[in-house]
């Protein structure tokens, strides 16, 4: 886990993510993204320590080279694009309700995400399933009983029930040696209890959390 954490906090991760964000369609009304990384690197130099969902996914994809990736909560395809750019042949399975104007940015849906993935060089298969993941994911997995994932991101419904249900549905399909990425723990502190109960208390996982202020990411590796 220390290796994955070091990779997620590396300059290489930040450089990759900055380059990737520059290739994606800019979010309306948001001038953050790569500017934040560059500002912090310039201001704090070698002392800066940072990880987020994008650098964590770069680290996981670079270290384990997934062939199958599940993402709950795709939005505009930013995090899927990290995985797709690092592993162009990886099969990507995304689930989203496409809630309009999510987090202050438009949420255009599957065709837009397909375009973003192509723009970063992803060439593998893409399945984007629309609807509430609490229903669509178990239905999809029932139809694909042999499908297991090397890498899973849970970043959709942020309610306790939504997160707990997504964990319960997705985790049985995480391969041994696979990586789980969970966004926004510090932003919604009550979700820490779900992470504690489902991941930290379960000896089949080793985990790592990075947070500063309201931002942060949590990562787990399935050992058994």
Ligand X SMILES: C[S@@+](CC[C@H](N)C(=O)[O-])C[C@H]1O[C@@H](n2cnc3c(N)ncnc32)[C@H](O)[C@@H]1O
By the rule CB under 6 A, 165 interacts with ligand X: no
User: Are 135 and 57 a contacting pair, CB within 8 Å?
Assistant: no
Answer for which of 14, 53, 126, 181 binds ligand X (CB under 6 A) is 53
Per-residue binding string, ligand X, 166-195, x by CB under 6 A, is: ------------------------------
By the rule CB under 6 A, 50 interacts with ligand X: no
- Around Cβ 163, how many Cβ atoms within 10 Å? 25
Please state the φ and ψ torsions of residue 128, each to the nearest 5 degrees. -115, 120
Q: Exposed (0-12), middle (13-18) or buried (19+): which is 13, by Cβ within 10 Å?
A: buried
Answer for which of 55, 62, 68, 79 binds ligand X (CB under 6 A) is 79
Residue 27 is given by DSSP the state P
Q: In the structure encoding, which two tokens stand for residue 177, read together?
A: 């040696």
Separation CA 140–CA 147 (nearest Å): 10
By the rule CB under 6 A, 106 interacts with ligand X: no
Residue span binding ligand X (CB under 6 A) among the ranges 2-10, 84-92, 93-101, 194-202: 93-101
Question: How many residues of this chain interact with ligand X, rule: CB under 6 A?
Answer: 21
* Binding stretches for ligand X (CB under 6 A): 53, 73-76, 78-79, 95-99, 102, 107, 132-134, 155-157, 162
């Amino acid at each position: 886990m220390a290796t994955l954490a070091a990779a997620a906090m590396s300059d290489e991760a930040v450089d990759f993510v900055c380059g990737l964000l520059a290739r994606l369609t800019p979010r309306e009304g948001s001038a953050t993204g790569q500017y934040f990384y560059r500002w912090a690197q310039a201001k704090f130099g070698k002392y800066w320590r940072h990880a987020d969902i994008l650098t964590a996914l770069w680290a996981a994809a670079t270290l384990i080279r997934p062939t199958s990736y599940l993402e709950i909560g795709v939005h505009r395809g930013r995090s899927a694009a990290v995985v797709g750019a690092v592993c162009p042949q990886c099969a990507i399975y995304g689930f989203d309700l496409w809630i309009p104007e999510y987090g202050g940015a438009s949420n255009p849906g599957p065709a837009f995400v397909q375009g973003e993935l192509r723009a970063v060089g992803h060439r593998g298969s893409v399945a984007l399933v629309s609807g509430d993941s609490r229903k669509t994911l178990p239905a999809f997995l029932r139809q694909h009983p042999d499908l297991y994932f090397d890498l899973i991101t849970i970043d959709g419904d942020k309610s306790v029930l939504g997160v707990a249900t997504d964990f319960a549905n997705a985790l049985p399909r995480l391969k041994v040696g696979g990586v789980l990425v969970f966004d926004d723990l510090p932003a919604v502190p009550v979700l820490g209890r779900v992470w504690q109960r489902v991941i930290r208390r379960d000896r089949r996982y080793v985990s790592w959390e990075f947070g500063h202020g309201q931002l942060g990411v949590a990562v787990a590796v399935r050992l058994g």
